[in-house]
Structure 1
Amino acid sequence: MCNQQEIVNHSKIQKIFEDVFFVTGTMKNEFFGSMWQFSRNMTIVREDGNLSIFNSVKLNEDGLKALDELGKVTNVVRIGDMHGIDDEFYIKRYNAKFWALPDMTIESALKIDEPLIEGNKLPIKNASLFIFNTVKRPECIIRLDKEGGIMIACDSLQNWEAPDEFFDESTIKTMKQMNFFQSANLGPAWMHESQPQKDDFVRLKDIQFKHALCGHGTPLLHNAQQAFQERFKQAFNI
């Protein structure tokens, strides 16, 4: 979905929790045979002065200055196969380590430094990895063990309740028709491309968390697990 370079247009970096930050930017891409313009999110986690970037979104010069004030970017983490166009920018700019699932589609210019494998180390302490096993395109979620559990997701979990200033009008109309704008949603494009099966969500619904920071939409805070469990039941009757 997010595989074409786009203009640099984004919000300010928001502090969501202590050492957890969030920024929303623009993406323009050909999708289902037409050009779409929509929003996407980057999550930044700070640990011991080092920053790990999830779902990278290229920032403008003011944004990069604000990012540098937070700490040093040391890790770029790709958790969804449909994102990643801006990973190379951050890896080269900061000489950062690149983390990704081993079977992801990786550009020839990049090499995975640290594969995301269950049981292996992660870029952040006190975190755990959930991997979707049934999907056609690799996807995972990182859970931070803080604030009652924070899920960092890419396309699988979304919270696009309404279009924002990063959309164009034609894309809003199309995405309304395709039911993208729902709270605690499973990404419609991801469902179509990856075709996840029930077994993954049986495992996912048992993971304890309170908050979700997704690749698309606004942060879902405090009641995220309950909201997504209701969605899993609706989609898979579990």
Structure 2
Amino acid sequence: MSSFPPALAHNAIEEVLPDVFLVSGAMETVLMDMDWNFSRNMTIVRDGERLILINTVRLSDEGLAALDKLGKVTDVVRLGALHGRDDAFYLDRYQARYWVMPGLAPEDGTPAQLLGEGGASPLPGATVFQFHTSNIPEGVLYLNRDGGILIACDALQNWLNPDEHFCDASRQRMEEMGFFTPANIGPVWLQAAEPEAEDFTRLSELEFQHVLCGHGQPLLETAREDFSATFRRLFPS
């Protein structure tokens, strides 16, 4: 266990929809030769006794105990190229199955099942939306229940304001970059991925009410309307 990145500060696990949980924690990294401290989210979906982890965040011992009370971790899902720091920890601890978007298969040979549109999924009734025009792999997991739930990584974000996991320098930089915008497309992801409008047209055609993102607060009930307005704003016809 000591070979894995350490657990960082995080909040308690919260049930935001029936059998769908979210935990927000810290991320520390170096980008553009600068230190960054900001928050990120892990989504946990319970299917009977099984737990499926999406956008993993390593939890403390106390957090792991709370996780284990929810069920048994059986699957880990990586939706985006810019996440994955803590996947190996959970794969090792729980001997879980690993699901990744095409293009994200581990280089060390760790067995992984490819996600993809029309392909297998770790959850009954769940499907995968794949960005076709992005320069980097990215997907969204669609749960056809409770009015439709999207579980996103970096492409969709809903950061309303900086939280306790931000340092002052990161907060200031990210305010200037437009991160704290409701129902947003991630600014760094947008710059790196260079997606085209057609992907977001396809995404807005899905029936959904809720979006849980890799960054920011859950957007419940009005997610389709709010994100569709953002897509039209950023990709005017």
Gaps of 5+ in 2: none
Structure 1 vs Structure 2: percent identity of aligned residues? 44
Q: Are the aligned partners of 1:104 and 1:137 in contact in 2 as well (CA < 8 Å)?
A: no
Q: Which residue is 2:219 aligned to?
A: 220
Deviations 1:170-212 (A, max 9, x none): 1001001111100000000100111111111111111110000
Q: Residues of 2 paired with 1:12 and 1:109: CA distance?
A: 33
Matched AA of 2:189: W
Give the conservation status (yes or no) of the 8 Å contact 2:159–2:181: yes
- The root-mean-square deviation of aligned C-alpha atoms, in Å, is 1.3
Aligned to 2:208: 209
Match of 2:233, SS state, is helix
Which 4+ stretches in 1 moved above 2 angstroms?
4-7
Q: Deviations over 1:31-82 (max 9, x none)?
A: 2331100000000000021000000000000000000000000000000110
Q: CA deviation at 1:141?
A: 0.2
TM-score, reference length from structure 2: 0.96
Q: 1:197 to 1:172 in 2, by over 3 A?
A: same
SS in 2 for 1:41: strand
TM-superposed CA distance for 1:22, in Å, is: 0.2
Whichever residue aligns with residue 15 of structure 2, its letter is: K
User: Which segment is superposed worse, 119-128 or 164-173?
Assistant: 119-128
Q: What one-letter code is carried by the residue in structure 2 that aligns with 1:64?
A: L
Partner of 2:186: 187
Task: Output the amino acid matched with 2:228.
Answer: Q
Equivalent residues of 1:149, 1:210 under 8 A apart = yes
- 1:153 Cα shift? 0.1
C-alpha deviations, 1:130-188, integer Å up to 9, x for none? 00000111000001111100100000000001000000111001001111100000000
Quote the Cα distance in structure 2 between the aligned partners of 1:225 and 1:174: 28
Shift of 1:108: 1.7
Distance 1:143 1:231 in 2: 19
Opposite residue 235 of structure 2, the aligned amino acid is F
Q: Where in structure 2 are the equivalents of 1:56-205 lying within 5 Å?
A: 56-104=56-104, 106-108=106-108, 110-112=110-112, 114-205=113-204
Contact residue 6 and residue 28 of structure 1 kept, 8 A: no
Relative to structure 1, the CA distance from residue 91 to residue 7 in structure 2 (aligned partners, 3 Å threshold; closer, same or farther) is: closer
> How many angstroms apart in 1 are the aligned matches of 2:34 and 2:111?
31
1:7-41 CA distance string (max 9 Å, x none): 52100000011110000000011123311000000
Deviation at 1:110, TM superposition (A): 2.6
* Post-superposition offset of 1:6: 5.6
Q: Which residue of 2 aligns with 1:16?
A: 16
TM-score, scaled relative to structure 1: 0.95
Unaligned runs of 5+ in 1: none
Cα pair distance change 1:22/1:61, threshold 3 Å: same
